[in-house]
């Protein structure tokens, strides 16, 4: 993981819009710190009979707009500052997309790739036991994130329900559809991101049919981004990568075949008919659209000058460092910021909450139509403010989001 500090980067983005909003130094200082955070030690019995203690976190950054919302990561390089930064991003993301939610994030330092399914389940349930008094359907609602999935959310929901002695679907989102999950949740982040790319392409003169696309990250978000880009928008996906490396094909990759190949081999590398490349080489390809869909801080000052894409769409959280962001903007390279571009996941998570509260279930068509409407409205607001004030789209997005949080804090009488 990069040595760049995600939390410090997010605070710099907050500073960039403070002058626009005439935020006082005291209020700015309040918004630069999480309201609450919990550190826990999670003992888990491993398959060999030993007991191992895992470090876990849950950060509730700001709840002025409503209950906090944010994913849970299982990752070997997790840090509390990364979790703080991601919780802050969730706060501004929910505000930008006009959701009645605050921002949170959780994480456990572990390597699920080296754990059995049984060990992962015991860890997931133990995490909920450790944070159960910190979360709830009207307080803080977790969801899947890096290396967590719908089945883990089902275990977590089930464990919480056992603790409170009643089935509580609304405590977790990203669940299987059979347990109160929403249609369309699995590909919501990628689908929402493509709605933003579609709108931006109109404004930047990029024709999506045949547009060359490179995607760093081939997990849930990246794989769905590749599939949607190819099948719904007729783009040519020329490169993808995962944690083991990347592949490139000048004529484009067959994404359906690639998905089957990765399911069989565990990686995209050595895919027949493609050339192996590194993750760094993928980022520097000459393409129309670059989609970082993995972890934070993959584009920094070290490589920003070598980025050749016509458009960068942040499907991951914080993939471009603040310093690199400034350099790319000075080069005239449009960046669709994370709080705008990858909001589809939390939007459909919110839809899942609404369905759970109402004991309702929407079909995929309704979910996707509602998602598209929200994404387009947010894009137009950010684009128009960016154009009006002649500022980067990230600064415009933060200005809108922070303004909504400040207004809520003032209305509550907090400041």
Best CA proximity match to 357, nearest among 171, 176, 183, 178: 171
Q: Kindly tell me the sign of the dihedral angle through the C-alpha atoms of 208, 209, 214, 220.
A: positive
Pinpoint the alpha helices (H) of 298-392. Answer: 322-330, 338-341, 344-357, 364-389
Catalytic residue at 105?
yes
* Burial state string for 367-379 with b = 16 or more CB within 10 A and e = fewer than 16: bbebbbebbeebb
From the number of C-beta atoms within 10 Å of its C-beta (0-12, 13-18, 19+), residue 28 rates as: middle
Alpha-carbon distance of 360 to 95, in angstroms, equals 25
Please identify which of the residues 105, 166, 262, 264 carries the catalytic annotation. Answer: 105
User: What is the rounded (10 degree) CA torsion for 236, 239, 243, 245?
Assistant: 160
From the number of C-beta atoms within 10 Å of its C-beta (0-12, 13-18, 19+), residue 283 rates as: buried
DSSP-derived secondary structure for 229-257:
HHHTS--EEEEEEETTEEEE-TT---HHH
Alpha-carbon distance of 285 to 293, in angstroms, equals 16
**199 with 353: CB under 8 angstroms?**
no
From the number of C-beta atoms within 10 Å of its C-beta (0-12, 13-18, 19+), residue 177 rates as: middle
Provide the terminal-to-terminal Cα distance of the chain, rounded to the nearest Å: 37
Alpha-carbon distance of 169 to 330, in angstroms, equals 47
**143 with 71: CB under 8 angstroms?**
yes
411 CB contacts (<8 Å, ≥6 apart)? none
Alpha-carbon distance of 90 to 117, in angstroms, equals 29
Indicate which residues carry an active-site annotation: 105
């Amino acid at each position: 993981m990069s040595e760049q500090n995600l939390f410090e980067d997010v605070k710099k983005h907050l500073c960039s819009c403070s002058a626009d909003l005439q935020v006082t130094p005291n209020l700015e200082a309040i918004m630069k710190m999480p309201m609450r955070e919990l550190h826990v030690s999670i003992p888990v019995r491993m398959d060999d009979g030993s007991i191992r203690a895992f470090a876990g976190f849950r950060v509730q950054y700001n709840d002025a707009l409503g209950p906090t919302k944010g994913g849970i990561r299982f990752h070997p390089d997790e840090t509390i500052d990364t979790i703080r930064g991601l919780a802050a991003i969730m706060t501004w993301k929910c505000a930008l997309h006009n959701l009645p939610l605050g921002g949170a994030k959780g994480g456990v330092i572990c390597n699920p790739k080296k754990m059995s399914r049984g060990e992962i389940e015991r860890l997931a349930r133990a995490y909920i036991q450790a944070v159960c008094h910190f979360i709830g359907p009207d307080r803080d609602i977790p969801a899947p994130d890096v290396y967590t999935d719908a089945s883990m959310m089902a275990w977590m929901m089930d464990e919480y329900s056992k603790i409170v002695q009643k089935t509580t679907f609304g405590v977790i989102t990203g669940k299987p559809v059979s347990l109160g999950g929403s249609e369309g949740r699995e590909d919501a982040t990628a689908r929402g991101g493509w709605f933003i790319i579609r709108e931006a392409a109109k404004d930047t003169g990029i024709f999506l049919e045949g547009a060359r696309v490179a995607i760093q990250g081939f997990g849930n978000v990246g794989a769905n981004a590749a599939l949607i880009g190819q099948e719904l928008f007729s783009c040519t996906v020329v490169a993808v990568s995962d944690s083991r490396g990347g592949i490139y094909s000048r004529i484009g990759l067959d994404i359906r075949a690639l998905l089957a190949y990765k399911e069989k081999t565990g990686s995209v590398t050595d895919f027949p008919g493609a050339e192996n490349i590194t993750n760094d080489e993928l980022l520097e390809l000459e393409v129309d659209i670059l989609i970082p869909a993995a972890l934070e801080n993959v584009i920094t000052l070290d490589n920003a000058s070598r980025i050749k894409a016509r458009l960068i769409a942040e499907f991951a959280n914080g993939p471009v460092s603040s310093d690199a962001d400034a350099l790319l903007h000075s080069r005239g390279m449009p960046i669709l910021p994370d709080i705008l571009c990858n909001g589809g996941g939390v939007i459909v998570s919110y839809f899942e909450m609404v369905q759970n509260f109402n004991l309702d279930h929407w079909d995929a068509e309704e979910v996707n139509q509602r998602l598209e409407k929200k994404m387009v409205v947010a894009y137009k607001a950010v684009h128009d403010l960016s154009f009006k004030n002649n500022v980067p789209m990230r600064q415009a997005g933060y200005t809108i989001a922070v303004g909504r949080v400040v207004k809520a804090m003032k209305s509550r009488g907090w400041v």
